[in-house]
């Protein structure tokens, strides 16, 4: 594994942690096979953020979300983009999660 992949995997784990914290989910929420909306939507959002913020392939991203395949990651990305178009409030959630932890120390 090269340095870029290592950094991207760290980003992926960080994104998963931020989404879990934001939605108050159990630690295994990103990898569980559960497909209820209260778990699936945050998981899709995390996949979307990983696509946007890492250089990992769709298959690599899916692997870290409970061994899902690349098609699931594509579907998640499409669903979140559609949600952003239909509900501008989702953009605020994306910004909050993206900016969490990036505040400068006081």
Cα 43 to Cα 4, 22, 23, 49, 103, distances in angstroms: 23, 12, 10, 10, 24
The number of folded domains in the chain is 1
Identify the pLDDT of residue 106.
37
- Whether the pTM exceeds 0.75: the reply is yes
pLDDT mean values, one per 10 residues, the chain (106 residues)? 88 97 97 97 98 97 97 98 95 94 51
The parent domain of residue 40 ranges over 3-99
90 within a domain of the structure (yes/no): yes
Start-to-end CA span in the chain (Å):
35
As given in the structure block, the two tokens for residue 99 are: 């900016």
27 within a domain of the structure (yes/no): yes
106 within a domain of the structure (yes/no): no
Identify the pLDDT of residue 3.
86
104 within a domain of the structure (yes/no): no
């Amino acid at each position: 594994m090269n340095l870029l992949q290592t950094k991207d995997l760290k980003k992926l784990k960080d994104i998963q942690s931020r989404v879990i914290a934001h939605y108050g989910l159990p630690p295994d929420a990103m990898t569980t096979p559960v497909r209820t909306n209260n778990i699936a939507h945050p998981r899709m959002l995390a996949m979307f953020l990983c696509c946007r913020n890492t250089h990992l392939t769709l298959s690599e991203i899916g692997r870290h979300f409970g061994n899902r395949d690349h098609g699931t990651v594509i579907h998640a990305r499409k669903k979140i983009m559609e949600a952003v178009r239909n509900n501008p409030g989702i953009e605020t959630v994306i910004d909050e999660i993206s900016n969490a932890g990036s505040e400068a120390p006081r």
